[in-house]
Amino acid sequence: MGVLGWTPQQQGYFQSFHNLVGALSQGFFIQPMLRRLGTRRAYEYGERSARREQLRISRAQRVSAETVSCGRRAGVHSVLRDPGAVRAGGRPDPNVR
């Protein structure tokens, strides 16, 4: 089943392990941190980290979009320099070097 080809039984084992890790981290990491920081400060730290991550994601997407547009511009410039190098349909003509 799925991309990994796991059986339903294997998926159940994985989900159980995942839930166990979540419960352990809640008990051993999150609760002591909440006691030390307080709920308000913990919430504020969470909000700040979420905003930073959203900013990082948006910057990464912007860079990839700029790279794609630069690649398109380079392709357009090469066609404008030698319009005979591209035949109808936008595919390169193998006879033109």
What is the tens place of the pLDDT at every residue in 6-45? 888 999 999 999 999 988 888 888 888 888 988 899 889 8
Please state the φ and ψ torsions of residue 38, each to the nearest 5 degrees: 90, 155
Task: Name the range with the highest mean pLDDT among 3-7, 15-19, 78-82.
Answer: 15-19
Is the pTM value of this prediction over 0.75?
A: no
Radius of gyration, alpha carbons of the chain: 26
**What is the total count of domains within the chain?**
1
Determine the structural domain holding residue 55 and report its residue range.
Answer: 30-81
In a domain, 75, yes or no: yes
Task: Write the CA distances from 35 to 23, 26, 68, integer angstroms.
Answer: 17, 12, 48
Find tokens 């504020």 and name the residue: 44
In a domain, 15, yes or no: no
Tokens of 54: 């959203």
pLDDT in tens, 49-71: 999 999 888 877 776 555 555 55
